[in-house]
Amino acid sequence: MRNITLVGFMGTGKTTAGRILARRLGYRFIDVDEEIEREQGVSISHIFSELGEGYFRMLERGKINELSRRPGLVISAGGGAVIDERNIEAIKTGGVIVCLTATPDAVMKRVGNSAGRPLLNVPDPMSRIIELMAAREQFYRKADFTIDTTAMTPKDVAEEIIRITTGKI
């Protein structure tokens, strides 16, 4: 059972749709950020503010590498995980990558208050969303499949992932 790893910008539905997808496939769902928080005993926001993004990316890389070797998982990778080519290689070794996208407006509505989103703790979060999406686009294109979740429910997203990955996992 090859893994399905969900990548994409924050607020595109990786965790919500991923949980539904895992249930439907009988896979185990793992959110990389939640695993890091559990193991470190602190929030991602705390790691960013106290230890820096570089430290967080190191933890993220280790966790993705570990999970990619285990079969039968739906993995929700953090929004910036794809900026490290080593993460992409590890994920592809263990299965397929599905990138979830959404418009900046949809992301802004979904993430709401940016307090739990360290990269959006800025005076103009919408501009930051647009900037980060543009910077990461080249990395998101390395996914095996892409789904625009803007007008979809999480259940619809899970069903679409099953449809497009049938025979590929």
| Residues 81 and 95: beta-carbon distance below 8 Å | no
CA distance 80 to 72: 23
Tokens standing for 161? 């992932």
Across-strand partners of 145?
98
Pick the CATH number of 3-160 from 3.40.50.720, 1.10.645.10, 3.40.50.970, 3.40.50.300: 3.40.50.300
CA distance 20 to 156: 10
pLDDT at 124: 85
pLDDT in tens, the chain (169 residues): 799 999 999 899 999 999 999 999 999 999 999 999 999 999 988 998 899 989 999 999 999 999 999 999 999 998 889 889 999 999 999 999 999 999 999 998 988 765 566 666 777 888 988 998 999 999 999 999 999 999 999 999 999 999 999 866 5
Q: Give the 3-state secondary structure percentages of the chain, helix then strand then coil, rounded to 5.
A: 60, 15, 25
Q: Where are the domains of the chain?
A: 3-160
